[in-house]
């Protein structure tokens, strides 16, 4: 006569806890990646009390040497209009954020404003320019 035990060993592995863990990790990395704003170009931004936030379509950097960067790509002052337009040509109401070092002459910032205004006039668009600052 064979005696059967009441407690049988279940060899199946439950994947429910594993999928929960994967979803929690996915949510964690999605949240932390949106909070981190990588700046590959080191700038000392001017400080301000205002807190204007906007959805940015493109970032133009001006470092202390007077170099212009559209996104992460270095460009010359003469090719700035083509570089900006190639990034925002599909959008009629893009917001361009200018991140200029605090030692940059105002003329360089005004040059970016003029370039965006020229793009607006040529293509009948309504792009905006915002100067990035750091909180005081």
Tell if the pTM clears 0.75, that is, is over it: no
Mean per-residue pLDDT, 31-60: 70
Q: Is residue 71 part of a domain?
A: yes
The mean pLDDT of the chain is: 83
Domain total in the chain: 1
Q: What is the pLDDT of residue 72?
A: 87
The model's confidence at residue 36, banded by pLDDT at 50, 70 and 90, is: low
Q: Is residue 32 part of a domain?
A: no
Range of the domain at 66: 47-135
Distance CA 52, CA 109 (A): 18
Kindly report the CATH number assigned to the domain that includes residue 76: 3.30.420
- For residue range 66-92, what is the model confidence (pLDDT) as tens digits? 899 998 899 998 999 999 999 888 888
The model's confidence at residue 39, banded by pLDDT at 50, 70 and 90, is: low
Q: Is residue 8 part of a domain?
A: no
> In angstroms, how far is CA 48 from the centroid of its own chain?
20
- For 66, left (φ over 0), alpha (ψ -120 to 50), or beta? left
136 secondary structure, DSSP code? -
């Amino acid at each position: 006569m064979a005696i059967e035990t009441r407690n049988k060993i279940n060899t199946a592995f439950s994947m429910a806890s594993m999928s929960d863990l994967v979803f929690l990790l996915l949510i964690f990395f999605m949240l932390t990646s949106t909070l981190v704003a990588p700046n590959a170009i080191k700038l000392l931004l001017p400080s301000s009390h205002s807190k204007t936030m906007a959805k940015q379509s493109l970032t133009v950097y001006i470092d202390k040497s007077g170099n212009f960067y559209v996104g992460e790509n270095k460009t010359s002052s003469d090719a700035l209009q083509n570089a900006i337009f190639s990034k925002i040509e599909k959008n009629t109401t893009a917001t361009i954020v200018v991140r200029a070092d605090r030692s940059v002459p105002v003329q360089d910032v005004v040059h970016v404003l003029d370039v965006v205004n020229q793009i607006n006039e040529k293509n009948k668009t309504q792009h905006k320019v915002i100067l990035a600052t750091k909180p005081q």
